[in-house]
């Protein structure tokens, strides 16, 4: 049975209005018609899809790196920030009826509060913590957030209206959803904002100092605990943006965060753990490899293709593509 996209904000079922079925049939017909899509068009389609998926992975990887650089721990609850961003946005925008321009910042702020609570309740209370202890704490927090999401939203996936509608754009023979451009655009905005934040602001430079040497930063008067708190809030905000922008494309459900965390962590490792340019590059590479592997070979092995490339790269360069071997040697993890 063929299913069409669910009504925005409601669980995915097969009881879809006829107008949705017509729109879905139109998109499928245009996408799979060999008369309208040439080989170059198909390849361009795979490339755009890969960059879109890779942009989401890149945002998750950047979130990993922000916390890792300040605390040297891996926050395995990062994927849950993405999941909460999508589901909370559905609640604000669809259920409560808030306009997009209000629901978007409200969702980001609420997910930021979740990140702050994660630091205050799960990380800071631990006495004399080791890196492994803190990582286990983030895994426990991830399980707790997933359970809370299942309790509130249930197990059904939810849809969100696309920011610019769902009418596809044909470029070089490829059918592109306008939401793809929003995902890529937000990644570009995040890169620009973070570059300005870490290079031009005092707080950003203080966070960078904590990443380089927390003890020395503390000696010169930087409040390291506040920087850790800020890193969790900033990481949660980026995860929320990723969840909001990807939900109109792939839906969102309570257990989606775990796989996104795995892909985002893989992207961070591929690019070089702790390297922001590496996180962007790693995410785009993983997304592109998955897209071409699924389209050219088989969609059943799309997760394996990127992981195989990750293993090959790490075999020849353990620190990642843009990672520093010297820096990795002084890190505790």
296 located within any domain: yes
Instruction: Read off the tokens for 273.
Output: 């753990």
Give the mean model confidence (pLDDT) for residues 4-26: 47
pLDDT band, residue 35 (cuts 50/70/90): very low
For the chain, the domain total comes to 1
Residue 86 has pLDDT above 50, yes or no: yes
Residues 45, 33: contact at Cβ < 8 Å?
no
Q: CA 38 to CA 57: how far, in whole Å?
A: 28
Query: Domain range holding 124?
Result: 59-330
Structural domain contains residue 3: no
Instruction: Report the percentage of the chain scoring pLDDT > 90.
Output: 47
Residue 264 placed within a domain = yes
**305, 76 Cβ separation under 8 angstroms:** no
Q: What is the pLDDT of residue 332?
A: 54
Q: What average pLDDT does range 212-217 have in this prediction?
A: 78
- Whether residue 41 lies inside any domain: the answer is no
Q: Report CA-CA distances (Å) from 326 to 6, 34, 71, 322, 323.
A: 50, 51, 18, 12, 9
Domain membership flag for residue 247: yes
State the average pLDDT for the chain. Answer: 84
Distance of alpha carbon 29 from alpha carbon 202, whole angstroms: 54
Closest CA to 57 of 227, 198, 211, 190: 190
Domain membership of residue 148 (yes or no) is yes
CATH at 325: 1.10.3470
- Residue 9 scores a pLDDT above 60: no
DSSP state of 14: S
CA–chain centroid gap for 59, Å, is: 5
Tell me, yes or no, whether 52 lies in a domain. Answer: no
Global pTM value: 0.85
Which pLDDT score, from 0 to 100, does residue 11 have? 54
């Amino acid at each position: 049975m063929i299913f069409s996209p669910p009504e925005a904000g409601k669980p995915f079922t097969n009881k879809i209005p006829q107008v949705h079925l017509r729109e879905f049939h139109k998109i499928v017909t245009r996408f799979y018609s060999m008369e309208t899509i040439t080989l170059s068009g198909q390849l361009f389609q795979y490339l755009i899809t890969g960059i879109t998926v890779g942009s989401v992975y890149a945002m998750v990887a950047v979130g990993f790196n922000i916390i890792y650089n300040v605390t040297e721990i891996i926050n395995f609850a990062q994927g849950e920030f993405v999941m909460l961003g999508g589901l909370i946005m559905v609640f604000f925008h669809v259920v409560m009826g808030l306009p997009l321009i209000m629901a978007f910042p409200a969702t980001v702020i609420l997910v930021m509060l979740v990140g702050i609570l994660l630091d205050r309740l799960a990380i800071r209370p631990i006495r004399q913590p080791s890196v492994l202890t803190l990582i286990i704490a983030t895994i426990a927090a991830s399980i707790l957030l997933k359970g809370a999401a299942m309790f509130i939203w249930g197990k059904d996936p939810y849809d969100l209206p696309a920011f610019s509608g769902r009418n596809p754009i044909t470029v070089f023979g490829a059918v592109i959803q306008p939401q793809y451009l929003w995902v890529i655009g937000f990644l570009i905005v995040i890169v620009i904002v973070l570059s300005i934040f870490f290079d031009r602001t005092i707080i950003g430079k203080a966070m960078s100092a904590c990443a380089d040497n927390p003890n020395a930063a503390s000696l010169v008067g930087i409040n390291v605990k506040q920087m850790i708190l800020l890193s969790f809030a900033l990481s949660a905000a980026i995860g929320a943006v990723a969840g909001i922008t990807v939900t109109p494309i792939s839906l969102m459900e309570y257990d989606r965060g775990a796989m996104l965390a795995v892909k985002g962590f893989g992207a961070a490792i591929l690019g070089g753990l702790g390297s922001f340019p590496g996180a962007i590059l790693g995410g785009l590479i993983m997304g592109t490899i998955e897209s071409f592997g699924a389209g050219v070979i088989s969609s059943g092995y799309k997760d394996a293709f990127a992981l195989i490339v990750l293993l090959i790269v790490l075999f020849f360069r353990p620190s990642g593509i843009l990672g520093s071997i010297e820096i990795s040697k002084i890190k505790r993890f």
